[in-house]
Structure 1
Amino acid sequence: MTRTDPADILARLIRCPSVTPAEGGALAVLAEVLEPLGFSVARMTASEEGTPDIENLYARLGTEGPHLMFAGHTDVVPPGNVERWTHDPFAATIADGQMYGRGAVDMKGGIACFAAAVARHVERHGPPPGSISFLITGDEEGPAVNGTVKLLEWAAEKGERWDAALVGEPTNPAALGDMIKTGRRGSLSGRITVEGIQGHAAYPHLADNPVRGILQLTQALMHPPFDAGTADFQPSNLEVTTIDTGNPAVNVIPAKATAAFNIRFNDSWTADSLKAEILSRLERAAAEGSLRPGRKPVDWAIAWSERPSHVFLTRNDALTASLSGAIEAVTGRVPALSTTGGTSDARFIKDYCPVVEFGLVGQTMHMVDERVALADLETLTAIYEAFLQRWFGVHAAD
């Protein structure tokens, strides 16, 4: 194995079929890369009733501060119909200057590049003046219960403390150097249920159609807008994602209707204040309407998702300036500092230290023929290596 070659490391990782929750051998490959560099490597399996056991990895080089964490995941989404792939999704085939495979950009590629960058740094300069750790989970693409959350708790209980973290998720929309993620919107989900009275569609006076009520309630959630955005975040946005009655018959008024929704919210809100606003909207809409004129108000209930994601924004000049400077030095681009997109495991890491995200171009993630340009692997490795020098240099000057 060539530890300074990100393409070689990535090929070995892709060939491990680590579809969530399977480890697939990917953590073993990473350990083979890190241990000869001087990392102490620990494997930790986390469990929780009702969810699959997950194997995770924590590795550390050095014993002193400052301490930089690199975080990511080796689990991948299923490949889907493999017959639609140009190349085997777990073969790491190289064609036309690109490596094909599930996880190539999300996010085995980022892991391979950071590992190669550390190997190059150690080869050229020796170990850094501090510590580097890898915090790698196996269920970021799954329920995210037995991965980063429990691995962070496990490491913290053993006395691990971090000064900053970099998550290697694919953050760039079109080209390397486009974007650093310095925060994420919060995410809150729920499901509304409206009870009606089942009946024959030809005799509506004998029934109460819950679809009428669910439409009134969902409309109240989607309009008016929750806010106009803030200086650092785009406007909060709620989408109704399903409406269902479980009714296969076209001539039967259903007994119940449900609607699921998700809102991505900015720093105008907390999960609790947002819940209060949603409940207020639902109460007003239910009081103002009924399933039919002259009937009682809409009878509804709501169930919240158990794990809302909280909004966060990282303001840490040593971290963002070191990464931005490395990106500009290697690519000539000045990256945008963004809070767009979905959630990531950075939402858990932010409770332990400042965290930002930067990785490959994400255009093919989760798609058939997921792939990465070999040139991008080299560029990202160079960025990560330059970042290591700058970040540890800043702290050495303190």
Structure 2
Amino acid sequence: MTPEKKLTILQDLIQIPSVNDHEADVADYIADLFAPYPQAKVERLTYAPGRDNLIVTIGNAAGPRLGLSGHMDVVAPGDTTAWHHDPFGGEIVDGRMYGRGTSDMKSGLAALVVTMLDLLDQGVDLPGSVRLLATVGEETGEYGAAQLTDAGYADHLAGLVIAEPSGLDNVVYTARGVIDYKVVSTGKASHSASPEKGINAIDNLMTFYNAVRPLMAQHTKVDPVLGGLLHNVDLISGGEQINSIPAHAELMANMRTIPAYPNHVLYAELEGLIAQLNQEPGVQLTLSYSYPEEAIPGDPNAPLVQLAKQVSDQVCGHDTQIVGSGGANDGAEFLRAKGDFTSIEIGPGSATSHQVDEYVDLDDYLQAIQIYQQLIPAFFAQFTK
């Protein structure tokens, strides 16, 4: 495939405004690219109207299977007047392509697609199969990856490469998990001149707030790569007007977890605290979670990790670092699949993900394709030694 065609594919993807929705339009475009190849098996798994996960499998089904993954959604561009480039234009200026998703992560997704198309064009006889897992909803909860995992599409992988924008000088082998939770306090309204006739929902919510902070602070283990457990209350609201005892209040908190503290341990502590406080007269607290993800453990010496480093070193001429990530990714869901496999992140991108004038250096994008083109045969070679 010519470099111009590779850039066109990325540009076309950027011009599809798949902001937390409309991933089916991206899936349609990618499926059309594989339509001329009868040896490519193209499948869809619908999450909701207009939101299709895409699965493309090529190669020899009798051998080991390597998973390649990227998400098709992007975050909103925000105030478009603050952009110097059309967020969905895919403009190329001075060796960079600008637009929402150029870094996170349509450049990585495009690089995976181009790599698979090149394998088909070249008629490479793979000793195993390669499966693209293109997901919906990564930015808002990894629910596309969860759906694909539950449907068995990640079962018995021999390895998984996620093209998130790690930078090509980094191989990510471990990542924090996340727990977003909400606590709602229900009280009883009354006139503020007669507080004894009501139940102050804010007071009861603050009792939880003051108790949960020291509870979470007891988790003092520190992961040598990821650091410690993080817990932050980021949103609080409550009350109706200044002269009324509030009947409703709520808070939302974000936790960034590490492998030493599995989510079920933290759930038990939060739920135990809620149950304890609800025994007090007038206290009515409820707890709910939003798209929690487990931390991703990993081994820096795993063969896939070391192989990705070697290939990136060769292609890019730098000393690729083996690192952890503070953010969650689709790998947390895929690792629930049947089988035991290593998941890594390595992909093109810049420090502008989710920012105004997001961009990717086109040299990085093209180098990422070279890395994947060399990584795939090298990965299968491990099984024939």
After TM superposition, the score normalised by the length of structure 2 is 0.86
CA distance in 2, matches of 1:142, 1:284: 31
Change in CA separation of 1:280 and 1:143 when aligned onto 2, cut-off 3 Å: closer
RMSD of Structure 2 on Structure 1 (CA) = 2.9
Question: Contact 1:3 / 1:119 at 8 angstroms: preserved in 2?
Answer: no
CA distance in 2, matches of 1:171, 1:381: 14
Would you say 1:314 and 2:312 are equivalent positions? no
Would you say 1:54 and 2:51 are equivalent positions? yes
Deviates more, 1:13-22 or 1:224-233: 224-233
Q: Tell me what 2:312 maps to.
A: 327
Structure 2 counterpart of 1:240, one-letter code: V
CA distance in 2, matches of 1:322, 1:38: 31
Following superposition, the deviation at residue 110 of structure 1 comes to 0.3
Out of 166, 177, 186, the position equivalent to 1:171 is 166
Aligned 1:151-166 pairs, distance under 5 A: 151-154=148-151, 156=153, 161-166=156-161
CA distance in 1, matches of 2:113, 2:316: 20
CA distance in 1, matches of 2:4, 2:121: 9
Would you say 1:148 and 2:133 are equivalent positions? no
Question: Contact 1:237 / 1:264 at 8 angstroms: preserved in 2?
Answer: yes
CA distance in 2, matches of 1:60, 1:123: 15
Unaligned runs of 5+ in 1: 288-295
Moved over 4 A (4+): 1-5, 35-39, 119-125, 202-208, 280-287
After TM superposition, the score normalised by the length of structure 1 is 0.84
SS in 2 for 1:182: strand
Following superposition, the deviation at residue 320 of structure 1 comes to 0.6
Aligned 1:42-81 pairs, distance under 5 A: 42-47=42-47, 52=49, 54-63=51-60, 64-81=62-79
Structure 1 counterpart of 2:159, one-letter code: A
Structure 2 counterpart of 1:164, one-letter code: G
Aligned 1:1-398 pairs, distance under 5 A: 2=2, 5-23=5-23, 25-36=25-36, 39-47=39-47, 52=49, 54-63=51-60, 64-120=62-118, 126-142=124-140, 144-145=142-143, 147-154=144-151, 156=153, 161-172=156-167, 176-177=168-169, 179-204=170-195, 206-223=197-214, 225=217, 226-247=219-240, 249-282=241-274, 299-305=283-289, 307-315=291-299, 317-352=302-337, 353-397=341-385
Following superposition, the deviation at residue 324 of structure 1 comes to 1.1
Question: Contact 2:226 / 2:326 at 8 angstroms: preserved in 1?
Answer: no
Following superposition, the deviation at residue 156 of structure 1 comes to 4.1
Following superposition, the deviation at residue 116 of structure 1 comes to 2.8
Deviates more, 1:60-69 or 1:115-124: 115-124
CA offset digits 1:344-382 (Å, max 9, x no partner): 211111123321111123422222222111121122222
Structure 2 counterpart of 1:368, one-letter code: V
Unaligned runs of 5+ in 2: none
CA offset digits 1:211-232 (Å, max 9, x no partner): 2332232122222512232345
SS in 2 for 1:299: coil
Q: Percent identity?
A: 26
Question: Contact 1:245 / 1:256 at 8 angstroms: preserved in 2?
Answer: yes
Question: Contact 1:221 / 1:238 at 8 angstroms: preserved in 2?
Answer: no
CA offset digits 1:76-116 (Å, max 9, x no partner): 22333333322222221111221112211111100122233
Structure 1 counterpart of 2:213, one-letter code: M
Question: Contact 1:192 / 1:301 at 8 angstroms: preserved in 2?
Answer: yes
Question: Contact 1:14 / 1:90 at 8 angstroms: preserved in 2?
Answer: yes
